[in-house]
Amino acid sequence: MARREPWKPGLPAERTLLSWERGAFGFLVGGALVMLRQHGPLGPGRTVLALTATALALLVLALGYRRSRQIRATVGAGRAVMPAPRAEILLIGGATVAFAAAIVIALLVSAVFG
């Protein structure tokens, strides 16, 4: 019979925070790729996209820290059920789609007018 690991109450909050940090890192990489594009000088459009990516990364981190604190409070209070992060997921999903659309539009504009 396999021996079970003892349950550690801080692990769900830590895993949650790490996953949100990975999402924030993805936005930062997206902003860096916009800045590192090899064609032409650095214009205001690319700068705005990079700053938007940074703002979205900070938003993801803030939501992740908030969610991690909620999980710690739930575990500390003895409750085992945590509500699903529906609003956070919809917010970040919509922001991801909007950011991707902005990048596609910027690429199309630079291809047509560049």
For the chain, how many structural domains are there in total? 1
CA 88 – CA 67 distance, rounded (Å) = 9
| Distance from the Cα of residue 12 to its chain's centroid | 18
Q: Which residue segment(s) compose the domain that 65 sits in?
A: 11-113
Residue 2: inside a domain = no
Half-sphere exposure of 114 (CA within 13 A, CB side): 14
pLDDT on residue 94: 93
Residue 6: inside a domain = no
Residue 28: inside a domain = yes
Q: pLDDT tens digits, residue range 45-94? A: 888 888 999 999 999 999 988 888 888 887 766 666 677 888 888 999 99
Residue 7: CB atoms within 10 A of its CB come to 8
Residue 15: inside a domain = yes
Residue 62: inside a domain = yes
Residue 4: inside a domain = no
pLDDT on residue 61: 92
Residue 5: inside a domain = no
Residue 3: inside a domain = no
Residues 70, 82 contacting (CB under 8 angstroms): yes
pTM, entire model: 0.77
